């Protein structure tokens, strides 16, 4: 089973992708994670990607396609994949169709105002890497799990969020029509609780 998750930044793609890969035993391929790993290790790619991400823009197509194509060629993807964060535009979608086309595309549909609230309120632990939201922990700077300092990702601010959403709407939204034309797109209501969204996705995957 080859699955793509679509959805604006903050729509919950990463969370749902993790649940899907656990249930269906598929490798979770997140371009965001690949990029962040390179940024953390300060590789030449990481330096380039960091500049782009900090400005709220997307990485160049040729670079992103090359990275994804290499990852999908690995042995663990022979039985399928769970792609999160790729493709982001029609150029990437057409490239993916040429080397390993998806079977189904799930679009997580979330209200834009809710997305902004979700992202701006995100906090992560500098030590245990736990993920939290101010709705549940308030404005504390201390991790409720291990007591270490909570941090805010540099691009998790209102201005950058709006820029990322605008980029998504301009470049990624056309994928909805692209995959609808291929009869591969299914949309789920992403405004619900995590478990309810996942239940919808499981029904779609059948």
pLDDT at residue 12, rounded to an integer: 86
Whether 48 is catalytic: no
pLDDT at 141: 92
Asked whether residue 129 carries a pLDDT value surpassing 90, the answer given is: no
Given this model, what pLDDT does residue 192 score?
92
For 170-205, write each residue's pLDDT tens digit.
Answer: 888 899 999 999 999 999 999 998 999 999 999 999
- Catalytic residue of the set 2, 50, 71, 164: 164
Q: Of the listed 13, 71, 118, 123, which one is catalytic?
A: 13
**122 carries an active-site annotation:** yes
Predicted confidence at residue 107, as pLDDT, reads 95
- Whether 13 is catalytic is yes
Closest CA to 106 of 194, 203, 9, 196: 203
Question: CA-CA distance, 206 to 193, in Å (whole number)?
Answer: 20
Q: What is the DSSP string of 87-132?
A: --SHHHHHHHHHHH--SEEEEEE--HHHHHHHHHTEEEETTT--EE
Helix, strand or coil, per DSSP, at residue 176: helix
| CA 133 – CA 124 distance, rounded (Å) | 9
User: What is the per-residue pLDDT across 156-179, written as a single tens digit (0 to 9) for each?
Assistant: 888 888 888 888 888 888 999 999
Report yes or no on whether pTM surpasses 0.85.
Answer: no
């Amino acid at each position: 089973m080859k699955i793509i998750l679509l959805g604006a930044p903050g729509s919950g793609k990463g969370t749902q992708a993790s649940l899907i890969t656990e249930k269906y035993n598929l490798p979770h391929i997140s371009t965001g994670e690949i990029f962040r790993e390179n940024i953390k290790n300060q590789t030449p790619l990481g330096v380039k990607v960091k500049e782009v991400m900090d400005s709220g823009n997307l990485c160049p197509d040729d670079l992103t396609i090359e990275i994804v194509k290499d990852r999908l060629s690995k042995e663990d993807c022979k039985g399928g994949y769970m792609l999160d964060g790729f493709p982001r535009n029609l150029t990437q979608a057409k490239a993916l169709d040429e080397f390993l086309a998806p079977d189904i595309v799930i679009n997580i549909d979330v209200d834009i105002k809710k997305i902004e609230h979700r992202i701006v309120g995100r906090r992560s632990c500098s030590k245990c890497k736990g993920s939290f939201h101010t709705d549940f922990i308030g404005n504390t700077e201390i991790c409720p799990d291990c007591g270490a300092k909570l941090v805010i990702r540099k691009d998790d601010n209102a201005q950058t969020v709006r820029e990322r959403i605008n980029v998504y709407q301009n470049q990624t939204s056309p994928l909805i029509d692209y995959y609808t034309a291929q009869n591969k797109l299914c949309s789920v209501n992403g405004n619900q609780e995590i478990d309810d969204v996942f239940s919808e996705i499981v029904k779609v995957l059948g």
